[in-house]
């Protein structure tokens, strides 16, 4: 629930929360080894992202301008127009997922985003564990291989490649490699 307090020039928001006893896959930092996730966990991930993507909302998680700016800061001359939009969590990282019981945490950023936004975020966040990144790609390939999903992946790579030294150095090389693959996919004739 949110409301505007014109007298104090503020917007207030209240969120209903619930105690979740399961722990985050990682509480903070960078994932450097594959978590032990069951087949049921992966099934719940897929079911949850599929169900979320079909929800209608006026909330916005990611705008076209963010995709344009993120990609063109590093890669010029590409058509960055998103052609498919869906409802997304918006902050889909290992810190916001629990295991062994599957649950999605931290919902304040949810809303409409390019199709594949959440999958691309989790995939990129997993690049230091290639087998895990590959698993995410297998699970969410339909989203990630869509034009919008490719743009989301490229934007995530571009964010790392334009970040200041020391921010996410371990992700630079994998981001370079994947960025070139994605650009090739986006620019190859259909």
- Residue whose structure tokens are 């998680």: 61
- Tell me which CATH code domain 22-187 carries: 3.90.1200.10
> Average model confidence (pLDDT) for the chain?
95
Q: What are the residues whose beta carbons fall under 8 Å from the beta carbon of 31, sequence distance 6 or more?
A: 25, 94, 125, 126, 128, 129, 132
Residue with tokens 């917007």: 11
pLDDT the model gives residue 190: 66
Mean pLDDT of 117-142: 98
Model confidence at 144: pLDDT above 80: yes
Domain boundaries, the chain: 22-187
Q: Where does the pLDDT of residue 21 fall: very low under 50, low under 70, confident under 90, or very high at 90 and above? A: confident
Measured CA to CA, the distance from residue 167 to residue 48 in angstroms comes to 31
Q: What are the distances in angstroms from CA 7 to CA 4, 14, 107, 125?
A: 9, 18, 28, 42
For position 33, what pLDDT does the model report?
96
Is the model's pTM score more than 0.85? Answer: yes
Looking at residue 12, its pLDDT comes to 83
Label residue 2 by pLDDT band (50, 70, 90).
confident
Angle at 132 between CA 183 and CA 126, to 5 degrees: 60
Residue 1: name the closest of 15, 19, 20 by CA.
15
């Amino acid at each position: 629930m949110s409301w505007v307090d014109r007298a104090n020039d503020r917007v207030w928001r209240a969120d209903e929360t619930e105690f979740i006893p399961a722990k985050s896959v990682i509480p903070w930092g960078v994932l450097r080894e594959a978590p032990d996730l069951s087949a049921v966990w992966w099934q719940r991930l897929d079911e949850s992202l599929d169900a979320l993507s079909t929800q209608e909302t006026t909330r916005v998680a990611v705008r076209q301008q963010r995709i344009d700016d993120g990609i063109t800061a590093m890669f010029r001359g590409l058509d960055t127009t998103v052609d498919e939009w869906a409802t997304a969590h918006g902050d889909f990282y290992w810190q916001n997922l629990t295991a062994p019981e599957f649950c999605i945490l931290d919902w304040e950023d949810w809303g409409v985003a390019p199709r594949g936004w959440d999958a691309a975020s989790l995939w990129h966040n997993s690049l230091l564990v290639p087998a895990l990144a590959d698993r995410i790609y297998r699970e969410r390939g339909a989203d990630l291989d869509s034009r919008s999903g490719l743009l989301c992946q490229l934007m995530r790579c571009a964010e790392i490649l334009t970040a200041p030294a020391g921010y996410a150095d371990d992700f630079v090389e994998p981001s370079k490699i994947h960025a070139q693959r994605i650009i090739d996919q986006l620019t190859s004739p259909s």
